[in-house]
Amino acid sequence: VTVRLNLQFKYNRTNTWNTYGRIKGAVEPEKVVYIGSHHDAWDYGTVDPISSQAPLWELAEVLGVMMKNGWKPRRSIQLNSWDAEEWGLTGSAEFVEKRKQMLKANGVVYLNTDVGVMGTPDKLFAGGTPSLQWAMGKALKVIAHNSTHTLHDIWLNKYDFHPAGWSS
């Protein structure tokens, strides 16, 4: 079978917009914790960006309330909303390329909230870097599943799975 395709594309140059806000740290302001996700999508709506952006906006609001009550972070916190992720991670890649040295010297961590929520109410999906498994285990121990069990209990009972760094 031979297939011949004649593809014609219209190439346009267009602007993209990364949006970010920063809270200055009180003790180590030059050190920065980055939290972000993308806001663009392949189609209208989609779970991918909206389930990531909604928690990011909620975090911004919570941090604002905490600051109004006198709280200050130890290190600076920067919330990032990237554009053109679906076109090749363009927004975040451009950000990094322009700031490589500063990020190497002062970037503490980047928390990517992409696809922040998915699935059904009776299932928990957790993913991330293996070096942070202990943090997931710790968080699941304080999140109530019902009046007598935590998500940690449910996870261990259902899957009999103990990732590295989790204690029973």
Most confident of 25-34, 103-112, 130-139: 25-34
**Residue 49 CB burial class (10 angstroms; 0-12, 13-18, ≥19):** buried
Give strand ranges (E) for 83-140: 107-112
Contact at 8 Å (CB) between 85 and 93?
no
**Residue 6 CB burial class (10 angstroms; 0-12, 13-18, ≥19):** exposed
| Active site amino acids | 85
What's the pTM value of the predicted model, to 2 decimals? Answer: 0.71
Both structure tokens of 106: 């002062």
CA distances from 73 to 31, 63, 66, 105 (A): 11, 9, 10, 19
Arithmetic mean of pLDDT, 30-40: 94
Return the pLDDT at 64: 96
Range with lowest mean pLDDT among 5-14, 56-65, 129-138: 129-138
Arithmetic mean of pLDDT, 126-150: 80
Query: Whole-angstrom Cα distance, residue 106 to residue 48?
Result: 29
Report the SS3 class of residue 97.
Answer: helix
- State pLDDT tens for residues 63-109: 999 999 999 999 999 999 999 888 888 889 999 999 999 999 999 99
